[in-house]
Amino acid sequence: ADPDPLQDICIADLDAKISVNGFPCKPETEVTSDDFFFDLSEEGNLSNAFGRAVTEGNVHEFPGVNTQGISTNRVDLAVGGINPPHLHPRSSESSIVIRGTVLVGIITTDNVFYSKVVTAGMLFLIPRGLVHFQLNVGKENVLFFPSFNSQLPGTQFVHSSLFNTTPPIPNEVLTKTFLVGDEVINAIKAAITSAH
C-alpha cells in the first residue's frame, strides 16, 4: 500500500531534523549488514490484562524497511489471551501461524463477521483497514508473525480509541452512542485505563 521506492537502499534516519512521507535515508557510506536484519526471536512479555505481546518490526524499530512498503510483527498470546479488536489504516495483513490454536475474526464495513480457528502452518489474511482480533483458544501459547504491505501500518484498537483517549472523550458521547448510563461508561473507562 505504500509508495514505490526511488532507490535501492534507504535505511531510515530516525533522528533526521526534516520530515517527509516516511523517513530520509541515512548516508549510504554508513549502511552496514545489520541494517537488513531484525531479531524477532524473543517471546514478548505476556504478563498483562490481555495475555498478549505484540513485538513490532515497523520502520521505527527496523529502519531498514523504510521506503520498501513492508514490515513484520511478532505476536505471542498466552493461553486464553486476546489481541483485542483493532485495525491497520495503512495496510493489509498476511500472517503465518507458527504455534498454537487461534481464533481469528474479521469484521467488514457491513458488519459481516468472518472467523476461523487456525493452527501452525496456516496463513490468515486481514483486508486493509478492517477490524480484526486473535484469541488463543488452545492449550499452549500462540505464536504468529503478521506481515504488512506498509512500513508503518498503524494500529488502532477499538476499545482504546473510545475508552482510553487523551484527553478522554466526553461521557455524553459514549452514553449516547452505547445507549447506557454513565456508570457503565465509567466502569469500562476505569477497567481499560488500568489495563494499559
What are the backbone dihedrals phi and psi of residue 193, each rounded to the nearest 5 degrees, phi first?
A: -65, -40
Q: Binding of ligand GLV at residue 54 (CB under 6 A)?
A: yes
Q: Output the smallest distance, CB 30 to ligand GLV, in A.
A: 30
- Contact (CB, 8 A) for 71 and 151: yes
Question: Which residue in the shown chain puts its C-beta closest to Mn ion?
Answer: 93
CA gap 11, 38 in Å, rounded: 13
Residues 99-128: x where in contact with ligand GLV by CB under 6 A, - otherwise, as a string: ------------------------------
Which of 76, 100, 146, 185 binds ligand GLV (CB under 6 A)? It is 146
Q: Output the smallest distance, CB 153 to ligand GLV, in A.
A: 7
24, 77, 74, 21: which is closest to 47 by C-alpha? Answer: 77
Which residues in 67-106 contact Mn ion (CB under 5 A)? 93
CA gap 28, 16 in Å, rounded: 15
Which of 58, 66, 67, 73 binds ligand GLV (CB under 6 A)? It is 73
- Contact (CB, 8 A) for 127 and 180: no
CA gap 189, 75 in Å, rounded: 25
With CB cut-offs between 5 and 8 Å by kind, which of Mn ion, ligand GLV, none does residue 81 bind?
Answer: none
Phi-psi sector, 111: left (phi>0), alpha (psi -120 to 50), beta: left
Looking at beta carbons only, is 94 or 171 nearer to ligand GLV?
94
| Residues at the contact surface with ligand GLV, assessed by CB under 6 A | 54, 73, 75, 83, 93, 134, 146, 155
Residues in the site for Mn ion, rule: CB under 5 A? 93
